Amino acid sequence: MSPCGWMIPICLVLSGLLPALAQAPETPDAAFFAQDPRVLMRLCADEALRLKGRDSHLVAEYGDTMLALGDRKKAEEAFSRALERKPNDPQTRRLIALAWLRHGFLPEALRTYEAMVTLDLSGRYENRKNLFTKAAVDLLVAGQVKVAADYMERGFLLDKSDAANFLEFGRAALQVGEKDLAALYFTRATKADPKDVDTWLEITNAYADLVLRASKAASVPKP
């Protein structure tokens, strides 16, 4: 083989190694953060993992970034590692579910949310009603109205007095245009806590956002 023939495979091996060798600088400057976002995302995620690679939440979010980069294999490896570390931690499951959901993998997201809300919580601080609310809000924002409403109803049946959870879901519902669902949960929130000024302000501001968005949409000239 000619010298040129040997060079080609060597160059290919080296170019394959380059991304693995790339590392965030010790003192990153503005120019570093101004580079191509996809290159930056990988460098930042790798550096996060290097600094704190045993934290299950961080590893799950590393998987989120990998999904954003289209690297499903690396994402799945990260999700498995996160679950190995904290198999019974609802927040680890939620971060994984949210990652699937945000990047358009609905069946994977739904499976993970169901696993989260049915976790054995004995001896844990978490409250199942809050897990239902988190799953419901995430899914509602992603447009999965029916599943979201079902989860929220399951949370409501566990505790009919949690105004904060009802408000959070009601606000999300109004944001995505589900006015009837918003009305149901605002009614439940104000029934649970009728004298709390913050409850009324939250609802005021939720409708303020809606009115503002409607007026902006109306003022955009039609093509």
Partner 1 sequence: MRSTVLALVVGASLLAQVPEPPTEAFFKGDPTQVMLACAEKAVSLQPRKQVVLAQAGHAHLIAGDKAKAEAYFDRSASGTAETYRWLGQARLECGQAKEGIAALRQVGGRETYSKNAQRDAAVVLMEAGFPKEAEEIMDGAFQMGPKDWQNVMAFGRACLRQKRQDLASVWFARIMANQRKAEGLWNEIALAFADQGAER
Kindly state the smallest distance separating residue 35's Cβ from partner 1, in Å.
9
Q: Give the Å distances, CA to CA, from 99 to 23, 105, 136, 212.
A: 24, 9, 15, 30
Backbone angles phi, psi at 89, to 5 degrees: -90, 115
Strand ranges for 66-199 from DSSP E? none
d(CA 193, CA 179): 21
DSSP secondary structure letter of residue 35: S
Q: Which lies closer to partner 1 via its Cβ, residue 24 or residue 106?
A: 24
Contact between 184 and partner 1 per CB under 8 A:
yes
In this chain, which of 28, 70, 87, 143 binds partner 1, going by CB under 8 A?
Answer: 28
Site string for partner 1, 77-116 (x = CB under 8 A): -------------------------x--------------
Which residues of this chain interact with partner 1, rule CB under 8 A?
A: 24, 26-34, 37, 40-42, 44-45, 47-48, 51-52, 58, 61-62, 64-65, 68-69, 102, 179-180, 182-184, 186-187, 190-191, 194-197, 200-201, 203-205, 207-208, 210-212, 214-215
